[in-house]
Structure 1
């Protein structure tokens, strides 16, 4: 009989809550023999560990930093799925999409296109009020929008929406 797994396994017991949730979910996926979830979580934890040891000394990542790693991994899955789909490999594309969905469960809800457009439209109006017009206002608008949508919308998606609204679309 196993006891509770409440104690973290790190050497200094300062594990972040998101990282410990990933580890707990990995253990559960292994016990359930869920190959997709376990391999996805294993790769994600490896990316978190790699980020922790990057630089001059090892450090624990904050939840925000772990979330950025998960976001980066999810983006890799989306890009790989697109590449596989374009390359005529639908099975691999589907697997990458499924892995992306596993990771999406650990990320904040993404903004819908309408929600993003409303935020960007307000920022465009604010920038125009400050005297910025047309495509040259892109930097100012992005400075206003990025803090509001951090973690809830991908940068490329935000930039495309800003460009479209600045162009008058």
Structure 2
């Protein structure tokens, strides 16, 4: 994933695409910050899963900013946030549709043998293993809770 981001940065520099260059530099900076934090734990550089989490966090921050700017009528700033979201999303795996999330939850419940709300952590844990970066766990946790309460 690092190589893909670095290659995209080189291409953006050659193309003189300032928005893309700035966004990719922000990504690299966030990854380096994570590498430094990890080094203090005596581990190697950030894994692809950790980079995925960084990218998801960056997207979420920009989505919140986009909503605020759009609500305030600042279309110029909202446009910038939207462009950055699009660039970040290029490096994230495609998210699951609602139907796919429902099917994944049902499969995870069956796999871990969950029987009620007390097993919610097991189900979420299984989903994180099977679908890293492809499910919005804020939304999915409500669906898991509902599925376990009804089951």
Match of 1:20 in 2: 3
**CA distance in 1: counterparts of 2:119 and 2:44, whole angstroms:** 39
Match of 1:105 in 2: 90
1:39 to 2:58 alignment: no
Aligned residues of 1:74 and 1:100 also touching (Cα < 8 A): yes
Structure-2 change in CA distance of 1:40 and 1:64 (3 Å): same
Structure-2 change in CA distance of 1:163 and 1:97 (3 Å): farther
Structure 2, unmatched stretches of 5+, are none
**CA distance in 2: counterparts of 1:85 and 1:121, whole angstroms:** 37
Deviation (angstroms), 1:60: 2.7
Higher percent of residues as helix: 2
Aligned residues of 2:31 and 2:51 also touching (Cα < 8 A): yes
Write the mapping of 1:4-153 to structure 2, written as runs, cut at 5 A.
Answer: 18-54=1-37, 55-56=39-40, 59-125=44-110, 130=113, 132-133=115-116, 135-153=117-135
Relative to the length of structure 2, the TM-score reads: 0.80
**CA distance in 2: counterparts of 1:58 and 1:143, whole angstroms:** 23
Structure of greater relative contact order (alpha carbons < 8 Å, 6+ residues apart):
2
Relative to the length of structure 1, the TM-score reads: 0.73
Count of residues in correspondence between the two structures? 148
